[in-house]
Structure 1
């Protein structure tokens, strides 16, 4: 088991200085402007990255925070508040939300996008490994939906990712132990499954958010108000 999730040695310099924060905010504004005018995500990020002399990790953060204004409006119109969740079924982008929670509980930097969704800098690279905060992350998610009387939670994981089967077994065991109404499925293309579902999606993946009927911003509800390591656009 890995110790923590997400934070690297130079992150406090890359994201913690006032000058860096201002520079990244300006880059997000410029990239969002380009996206609204039809420029591609990769080319827009490269352009602003070069302009502001951002390294790859900073560019990744800028990409996660940026969005065209038209996309922000569409995503906002489909976002649900927690008081509407009672007796609804939700479908969770499993690794996406778990890793975000692990990063937050590890005091890693997370980034609030212009669309209000939170993103981090972790990536799977075909393999998922639990960290010290995994159990707490799952309990926080499970308890939140239980308290808010969600009818059923369907977890979807990327089957080709190493240890996805182990995660499924862990969630089934936790559901039995704590009385969570969970279903866990493994799919080769989980993004498509979630995007085409009629259920409330729980994800921060921009591609999915543009395609779902409705979504819920779970991380916004669970992130502490005093959290130090969140950057806003």
Structure 2
């Protein structure tokens, strides 16, 4: 990976936020800023995923809750969204604290997801946190279009039985639609899901802040 020039990246972030605040399309704004500052692929991913219009960021920040508020509620977990972020933390990859308060990675989710030792570690860390959450139930959703969704959902269900955690893990043709349709606290950094959520717990972000500071 090409070393990043943090001063240039800061300027690019300012410009990206300026354009978004004035209603520019996210891709159009990112393309313009990338061209102007000659950003690398990784730098473009940072401005694309981390920067949000002021009002949108404020709206999402108001939805964020802490771990204590999860207790007694249903927790709806966007499976791959959380696992991939935690995996990247374990790998030592770049993670970013975004304008809307969420921790995100800058990788591009592939439909050819591979289960590795990092996946096992991510799942273990999630279950440690779920025990602390004391949710009424925890439900994982995995996108059917991504490889190994059925296998990983099965692994999660088995782990839940072993750990005595109430909940389920299922595959879905439309993760965003199904999660949004349920009543509960949402654990996802997906923008479409966040816009429709009432309460958000940054599960991956909590783990990153707890384990990797």
With the length of structure 1 as denominator, give the TM-score of the two structures.
0.86
Deviation per residue, 1:88-109 (Å, 9 max, x gap): 1110111010000000011111
Deviation per residue, 1:178-231 (Å, 9 max, x gap): 222231111111012223332111011122111111111123321246847xxx
Q: Pick closer, same or farther for the CA change 1:75–1:224 going to 2, 3 Å.
A: closer
List gaps (5 residues or longer) in structure 2: none
Q: Pick closer, same or farther for the CA change 1:139–1:226 going to 2, 3 Å.
A: closer
**2:51, 2:99 within 8 Å by CA — same for their partners in 1?**
yes
List gaps (5 residues or longer) in structure 1: 1-9, 15-19, 229-233
**1:200, 1:213 within 8 Å by CA — same for their partners in 2?**
yes
**2:83, 2:204 within 8 Å by CA — same for their partners in 1?**
no
Q: 1 CA distance for matches of 2:46 and 2:77?
A: 23
Counterpart of 1:135? 120
Q: 1 CA distance for matches of 2:183 and 2:35?
A: 41
Q: Pick closer, same or farther for the CA change 1:204–1:85 going to 2, 3 Å.
A: same
**2:103, 2:204 within 8 Å by CA — same for their partners in 1?**
yes
Counterpart of 1:23? 8
Q: Match of 1:92, SS? A: strand
Counterpart of 1:172? 157
With the length of structure 2 as denominator, give the TM-score of the two structures.
0.93
Give the alignment's Cα RMSD to 1 decimal: 1.7
Q: Match of 2:112, SS? A: coil
Q: Answer 1 or 2: higher relative contact order, Cα 8 Å, separation at least 6.
A: 1
Count of aligned pairs? 213
**1:158, 1:186 within 8 Å by CA — same for their partners in 2?**
yes
Measure how far apart 1:112 and its partner are. 1.1
Q: 2 CA distance for matches of 1:150 and 1:102?
A: 23
